[in-house]
Amino acid sequence: MNETEIRNKILSPAIERANETMPSFFLEHPDDSVVFYGRPKAILDSLNLVSFVFILEEIVEEVTGLKIKITTQDVLDTEKAPFASMNNLVAFLQTKMAGA
């Protein structure tokens, strides 16, 4: 999957599902300035991050049939910082799916 496909088929539906089901998740107009976790003004904390991770894993499997596992190590990777921005997250998911 290329980056555009990941944004449209994985990330946008995941954000939509999170908006529907996560009690403390509000992201009306996601754009590249969004910080998911791990930096100032992040929209997720360490408790609800897990819920968002599950949603991502679910959507990836629903759309591609691939089972990916996002681990604590992935989340805490300061170099890749997958949840620090939209671009980082897209790149991270692309790598994860390629390795699945």
Partner 1 sequence: MIPENWKSNKSVFLIENDHDYSYHDLYISLCSFFPHFKQSTAICFILESNNSFLSYSRFLAALAAGKTVLLASPAQFKDNAYLELLAKETGFECAFLSLNAPLSLSSKAEENKNISETFLKSRFIVRTSGSSGMMFKLIEHSTENFFSKYEKVGPHFEKTYAFSPAESIAGIETLLEVLFHQKSLVTGLDLYDPVHVCSLLKKYKVDYFQTTPTFLSMMIISKQLSSELNGLQKIAYGSEPSLLSALNEFKKILPDTELMHTYGMSEIGILKTLTDIEDPTRFVPDEHYNPFKIVEGLLQVQSLTRMNRYLNAVELPSPLGKDWFNTNDRAVLEKGYLKVIGRSEDLINIGGRKFYPIELENLLMNISGVQDVTILSEKNEMIGSVITAVFVLNRETDEAEFRKNYKSYCRDHIVSYMHPHKIRLEKDLTLAPRMKKMRKS
Region 29-58 residues binding partner 1, contact defined as CB under 8 A:
45-51, 54
Structure letter (DSSP) for residue 85? S
Q: Which of 86, 99, 97, 88 is CA-nearest to residue 12?
A: 86
| CB closer to partner 1, 31 vs 45 | 45
According to CB under 8 A, which one of 16, 22, 42, 88 is a site residue for partner 1?
A: 22
Tell me the window of 15-23, 34-42, 82-90, 91-99 that interacts with partner 1 (CB under 8 A).
Answer: 15-23
Tell me the window of 7-15, 22-30, 34-42, 77-85 that interacts with partner 1 (CB under 8 A).
Answer: 22-30
Q: What is the secondary structure of 32-62 as a DSSP string? A: TT---SSSTT-S--TTHHHHHHHHHHHHHHH
| CB closer to partner 1, 20 vs 32 | 20
Six-digit token pair at 5?
């496909």
Backbone angles phi, psi at 23, to 5 degrees: -55, -35
Instruction: Give me the residues that bind partner 1 (CB under 8 A), please.
Output: 20-24, 45-51, 54, 71-72, 75
